Structure 1
Amino acid sequence: MLRGDRKFGNAILLGPTGVGKTETASALSKWLFEGRMIKKDMGEYKHPSDGRRLFGDQYKMGSLTKEVTEMGSCVVLFDEIEKAHPEVFDTFLTLFDEGKMGDAATNLRVSFKNTIILMTTNLAPDREEDTPLEALGNDKRRDLFAYHFRTELLGRINRILVYNELTEGATEGILRKRVGCILARKEEEGVRIEVAENIYRHLARQVRSCRYGVRGADEVIINSVGAAIAGIPKGTDTVSLTLEGNGRIAWHAS
């Protein structure tokens, strides 16, 4: 992601909903910047002039330039960039070129050189060839977005990273981690819970059929594992969770 004299760079994260694009940004912010992250929902920038809200106008400092000035080093996440008006990104050209951006209200030149700029998109380019997106080089990936973003902008994108649909195994791994957090909390309360292996496979199938991918994982867990655990009486030391024939998760005293 390095480019020129900028300490950090930018990337587009391309993939369907619920495959970990936003989670990647969050993890990077925790790893590099102690959790400092600025997130902009680009669905709120549908008008050609909305770029001024990010970088200021004669009356008011831009929300983005203000936050970067205050926060310094951080991840800047532009979420679902396909929902913004294409002209909004005209204001990004200087930013991606120089790693700096002027604020119209204060005339400050705000440095973004200690930031990582990430942009997520669900945009699925129309293609006739069968070559998987992840097998294409970076330049070829840029070409696929030429119908939606200006060539000048695409030329300033360091990387386009492709996220595929999560496999059942990957989904199951995520669920194990999240359920494990619940089990750890219950163990701190004095209740040890054993989970049958087929429960994780069952939950993974439910999540994969969900419209929102792993974004729906927490709801699936709450409505199944959470509901079962809620029925455990106080004073119970050890229980087992099993998958019943009707798909319901039940607890049994061990």
Structure 2
Amino acid sequence: MSSLNTIYYGPTKEFDKLIEEDVNILNLRNLVKMMDSMESFDKWLENKPEIPYILLCYGESFYSIREHFIENLPNVINYLLKNEYIDNCLMQNPPSALIQSMKHVFQEDLEEIEYKHQNINKHGLMKIAEKYKDQIVGQDEALVEILSTLYPLVNKLDEKPIVMMFYGPAGVGKTETAKIINDSLDQGEILRQQLSMFQTADFASYLFGGTLEAPSLAKELMKREGNVILFDEFNRCSPYLYSAFFQMFDEGKYIDKNYEVKLKNSIIICTANFESREEIFGTLGAPLFSRFDHFIAFNDLSTAAKQTLIKNKYIEILEAWDANDIEMIKENVRLEELIAQADFFTNARNIEKGIKGKMARTVVLDMLEEK
């Protein structure tokens, strides 16, 4: 370690790589438990270790600690360091107030490490294109718009996030496209937030920060492994919460009551069932509307697109059935009949449910006849 204290910003999997093997580890939670009973702490101090500990502070360990202890933690660490109970301290994603206190107490004896999310490159763009063409039907123009919007990240023209709105009818590939973009970049799981749930006062504290132990968007953002962030059903978020996204979309920073998160080179995707840019502007208002880099329309599926989806889904769903049922399903749920009925379906979700339903009904009827 090049410093007595290291503050790390990023996911747990990468934080664990900073921990050296064959060292004595003192977890913050254990330290807190001992200090809750001063008698236990005094006994621990009396048995000074021959090999000093590393004080390990995972991000989650701060959630259940009383605020007055967090305020005093830098002084406790300083005491343990000076008296050689610990060699150094490793912290993951501490609250903003603790970061400032650590900087005040330790000044030069403090190292900050920020997890670097992988930058997108041309190869990544080509993987997006290949997966998209394989999985999304009837939205060719949207692909061109998406790749054009993402391309500035290849040239690293700016560290600000790319913010896109995918809009259009339900079930035509908006959410699936966000997942394709994330999967193509091999960065880890997508961070997905369902904004239709953001309707109560509880979600205001989730966005703007509440008590340290309470769930928050900032915590989720800090420990994310991937750099693709999906806000699904953005049109169903309460308008009074929109201001939570202003600085995130504009500067690539997310600041709440307890934490500050940097979102360099991130890809932020919002999905919504808006019908037009005019409707988006009218709903979101100028301040939020102006912070989007691009609005990408997903259209109603054409008959030809529905027929292709029916064929693809029929084959995919059929293969999931038991071998004994497949031939019977083929005889009673004919692909050509489904294709002829393409315009009775509205979208990909409707097609999948319709085919599954017909196949399941066929199997159930056959089962009942046998009895």
- Fold match by TM threshold 0.5: yes
CA deviation profile, 1:30-78 (whole Å, cap 9, x unmatched): 2224661222222222357844313423544653221222223243221
Residues in 1 aligned to 2:343 and 2:188: alpha-carbon distance in whole angstroms: 31
Deviates more, 1:43-52 or 1:4-13: 43-52
Retained in 1: the 8 A contact 2:310–2:339? no
In the alignment, what sits opposite 2:310?
175
In the alignment, what sits opposite 2:209?
56
Matches within 5 A, 1:27-42: 27-33=180-186, 36-42=189-195
In the alignment, what sits opposite 1:112?
263
List alignment gaps of at least 5 residues for structure 2: 1-148
Residues in 2 aligned to 1:174 and 1:115: alpha-carbon distance in whole angstroms: 31
Matches within 5 A, 1:1-254: 1-2=149-150, 5-6=158-159, 8-33=161-186, 36-47=189-200, 50-60=203-213, 63-105=216-258, 107=259, 109-125=260-276, 141=277, 144-185=279-320, 196-202=334-340, 204-208=342-346, 213-228=347-362
Please state whether the residue corresponding to 1:71 is helix, strand or coil. Answer: coil
Please state whether the residue corresponding to 1:145 is helix, strand or coil. Answer: helix
Larger helix share, 1 or 2 = 2
Residues in 2 aligned to 1:178 and 1:7: alpha-carbon distance in whole angstroms: 38
Retained in 2: the 8 A contact 1:175–1:203? no
CA deviation profile, 1:71-101 (whole Å, cap 9, x unmatched): 2324322122222121211111110111121
In 2 relative to 1, CA 226–78 (structure 1 residues): closer, same or farther, beyond 3 Å?
same
Residues in 2 aligned to 1:66 and 1:114: alpha-carbon distance in whole angstroms: 19
Letter matched to residue 70 of structure 1: K
In 2 relative to 1, CA 8–198 (structure 1 residues): closer, same or farther, beyond 3 Å?
same
Retained in 2: the 8 A contact 1:77–1:119? yes
Please state whether the residue corresponding to 2:223 is helix, strand or coil. Answer: helix
Please state whether the residue corresponding to 1:101 is helix, strand or coil. Answer: strand
In 2 relative to 1, CA 48–17 (structure 1 residues): closer, same or farther, beyond 3 Å?
same
Please state whether the residue corresponding to 1:117 is helix, strand or coil. Answer: strand
In 2 relative to 1, CA 167–59 (structure 1 residues): closer, same or farther, beyond 3 Å?
same
Residues in 1 aligned to 2:325 and 2:160: alpha-carbon distance in whole angstroms: 48
In 2 relative to 1, CA 152–120 (structure 1 residues): closer, same or farther, beyond 3 Å?
same
Point out which structure has higher relative CO (alpha carbons under 8 A, 6+ apart): 1
Please state whether the residue corresponding to 1:88 is helix, strand or coil. Answer: helix
Residues in 1 aligned to 2:326 and 2:200: alpha-carbon distance in whole angstroms: 54
Letter matched to residue 362 of structure 2: A
Percentage of matched positions with identical amino acids:
26
In 2 relative to 1, CA 17–170 (structure 1 residues): closer, same or farther, beyond 3 Å?
same
In 2 relative to 1, CA 148–231 (structure 1 residues): closer, same or farther, beyond 3 Å?
closer
Letter matched to residue 147 of structure 1: G
User: What is the count of residue pairs matched by the alignment?
Assistant: 211
**TM-score (normalised: structure 1):** 0.69
Residues in 1 aligned to 2:228 and 2:201: alpha-carbon distance in whole angstroms: 25
In 2 relative to 1, CA 47–82 (structure 1 residues): closer, same or farther, beyond 3 Å?
same
Letter matched to residue 179 of structure 1: Y
Cα RMSD between the aligned structures? 3.1
